[in-house]
Amino acid sequence: MRDLTLRHGALVLACLLSMAPTLAGTDAADASNQASQPPLPPAKAYGKFTQARIEHGRYLTLAGDCLGCHLRPGGKPFEGGLALNTPFGTIYSPNITPHKAWGIGSFSDQDFLRALQQGIRPDGKPYYPALPYPSFTKVKDDDLLAIKDYLFSLEPSDYRPPETQLRWPFDLRDLLFGWQELYLSDQRFEPDPSKSEEWNRGAYLVEGLGHCGACHTPRNLAGATEAHEALTGALIDGWYAPNLTSELGDGLGDWRLHELITYMRSGEATPAKDAASGQTNTSAPHGPQAGSHNGSQNGPVTAALGPMAEVVHLSLSRLADSDLRAIAVYLKDRPAIETPRQAPSRPHQLSEQDDIQGRRLYRHYCSGCHQSHGQGLAPYFPALRGNEVVTLPDPKDVVSALLLGAPADPTQAFSAHVVMPSFGSLLNDRQIAILASYIRANWGNDAAPVTPEQVSQLRRGD
Ligand code: HEC
Ligand code: HEC
Ligand code: HEC
């Protein structure tokens, strides 16, 4: 019984966690582009809490980028309601103002610490790791409580975010217990006495409140981050969060300390000598994988355009110079680790455009179940790689699975536990055609592409 729970837990998390950064990336990044972003409310002393205490809490709230997720476009700070989309349904960030009924007004100090360090709700159920508690668990009790003291100084809001409703079986919070037991360390940050105070401060911010690894560290099959691959770069919703170790090609090896600090403060790194070489620095590549820099000759030339723009705007740009420096010192001191190869080369059947879009759609809607390389996850999700149903000359079965869901015949089900949702109302003919073509042409599959006309014919039942 217990064993089963563990396996289920790992499975569900594989799906949810592989989505978590995506979430932070998509909606939140859009929200930050709105000029109407309300500022973080100023600190005010109240009750037994001094001005200095509340200022301290406000500052740490910035370092944790709590607003990035607990604010929806057009909402008031910390009211929550930001929609984080996953293929299994939408997770809404909660109201964390001190409202007694709809916020966290009834949380004790212990409740607050348990939520952020252990991912456990006051009623004993687990939180989804869309709340980055695997990082926040490193943060000292007193720093988290200072954040609570600041949040409790704010005006309570009676806004009630929509209920999070994930499709079965992904709404079963209990399944997360198993995962937490396996992958959550529940350990505070331990300073390294052989390093400087500045280095340790940087490490504390990067690994704890800054939750940089939530986006920059690749995840294994169970959705957990791997210690030995920490900060070596990962794909998020079509964006690439680059390697932050001192690796030279893809990482920060050729960045100077001040360039890194400037990037965190402004979202741009444009060394002066570049102008002399006649290059324009604003010509960062567009679309996915933008934000990489152009090699070592001119140093980094990069601008935060995607998810990182939000992190810079709401969090890093508001931190003290001393803390940005500490982060840079720590990052620059990390040994170089090569970026794991993630991006496969483009299959010959697909145009570049369709390949990029297919990968994006696949990561967003399919990889949570069928996994990043179409390898599936026994005994729940069939592999798409090497699957005859996928590569039959007549694409009818693949397209039907996408339009209507699967199994078509319940007695032939791949797994008694899970079904494949239908995507017919979510995606249009072109998107379904691109997805079908993408899975027919990747991971060694080699079947002809599917056209939007074929999809629309099957939709009409021709
Ligand atoms: C990447 C997005 C993200 C960030 C960053 C984030 N949160 Fe959250 N937070 C969430 C989500 C999503 C939930 C709800 C999880 C669930 O329903 O299981 C949540 C839940 C919470 C809860 C529990 C609320 C309740 O009603 O049970 C608290 C408290 C909280 N967050 C505080 C914070 C603080 C403080 C920070 C900054 C240090 C922060 N969060 C940063 C996404 C985020
Ligand atoms: C929500 C996901 C997310 C989080 C959290 C995040 N990053 Fe990023 N970061 C990205 C992405 C994606 C890029 C690629 C550029 C972009 O998004 O515009 C990036 C780019 C960068 C770059 C530029 C690297 C290069 O080679 O161009 C640096 C430096 C960086 N991040 C540092 C950090 C640090 C330090 C933290 C933690 C304090 C952090 N990031 C947290 C997603 C994230
Ligand atoms: C919630 C998990 C889930 C998601 C998300 C999901 N699938 Fe599935 N998929 C399944 C399951 C379970 C089956 C097996 C159904 C059965 O019993 O026949 C399946 C079957 C299939 C099949 C038929 C394979 C076969 O052997 O019969 C194809 C093709 C397929 N999925 C493609 C996709 C694509 C493309 C996406 C993204 C748009 C996707 N799936 C998203 C769970 C999922």
Q: Find tokens 């992958």 and name the residue.
A: 183
pTM of the entire structure? 0.69
Q: Note the Cα 188 to chain centre separation in Å.
A: 22
Task: Map out the domains of the chain as residue ranges.
Answer: 2-188, 352-460
pLDDT in the model for residue 118: 95
> Considering the chain, what percentage of its residues have pLDDT values greater than 70?
76
pLDDT in the model for residue 292: 38
The alpha carbon of 420 and the centre of ligand 3 are apart by a number of angstroms equal to 5
Which DSSP category does 140 fall into?
Answer: -
Residue with CA closest to ligand 1 atom 30: 96
The alpha carbon of 263 and the centre of ligand 2 are apart by a number of angstroms equal to 10
CA distance 132 to 210: 10
Q: Tell me the residue type at 143.
A: D
Q: What stretches in the chain show pLDDT beneath 70?
A: 1-38, 85-89, 167-172, 174-175, 178-179, 182, 219-226, 236-239, 270-302, 339-345, 416-417, 462
Ligand 3 lined by 89 (C-beta under 6 Å): no
What atom of ligand 3 comes closest to residue 406's alpha carbon?
15
pLDDT in the model for residue 340: 66
The number of the ligand nearest the C-alpha atom of 121 reads 1
Q: What share of the chain is helix, strand, coil (3-state, %, to 5)?
A: 40, 5, 50
399 by Cβ neighbours in 10 Å (0-12 / 13-18 / 19+) ranks as buried
- The CATH class of the 352-460 domain is mainly alpha
The number of the ligand nearest the C-alpha atom of 93 reads 1
Ligand 1 neighbours, Cβ below 6 Å, are 24, 64-66, 68-70, 84, 91, 93-94, 96, 104, 112, 115, 121, 127-128, 130-132, 147, 164, 209
The residues, any chain, with a CB within 8 Å of residue 266's CB and separated by 6 or more, are 312, 317
Following DSSP, what letter does each residue of 17-86 receive, concatenated?
HHHHHHHHHHHHHHHHT-TTPPPPPPP--BTTB-HHHHHHHHHHHHHTTHHHHSB-TTS-TT-B--EEEE
| H or E stretch covering 314 | helix 307-314
Residues 170 and 219: beta-carbon distance below 8 Å: no
What atom of ligand 2 comes closest to residue 255's alpha carbon?
26
How does pLDDT run across 403-462, given as a tens digit for each residue? 988 887 777 777 766 778 889 888 999 999 999 999 999 888 989 999 999 999 999 876
pLDDT in the model for residue 336: 87
Residue with CA closest to ligand 3 atom 32: 402
By DSSP bridging, strand 234-236 and strand 239-241 are: antiparallel
The alpha carbon of 182 and the centre of ligand 3 are apart by a number of angstroms equal to 27
Residue with CA closest to ligand 1 atom 10: 131
What atom of ligand 1 comes closest to residue 209's alpha carbon?
38
Pocket probe for ligand 3: among 167, 360, 369, the residue whose CB has the most ligand atoms within 8 Å is: 369
Q: Tell me the residue type at 340.
A: P
How does pLDDT run across 56-78, given as a tens digit for each residue? 999 999 999 999 999 999 999 99
The alpha carbon of 251 and the centre of ligand 2 are apart by a number of angstroms equal to 11
Ligand 3 lined by 381 (C-beta under 6 Å): yes
Ligand 3 lined by 414 (C-beta under 6 Å): yes
Ligand 3 lined by 172 (C-beta under 6 Å): no
Ligand 3 lined by 418 (C-beta under 6 Å): yes
The number of the ligand nearest the C-alpha atom of 134 reads 1
Which tokens belong to 292?
């990489």
The number of the ligand nearest the C-alpha atom of 362 reads 3
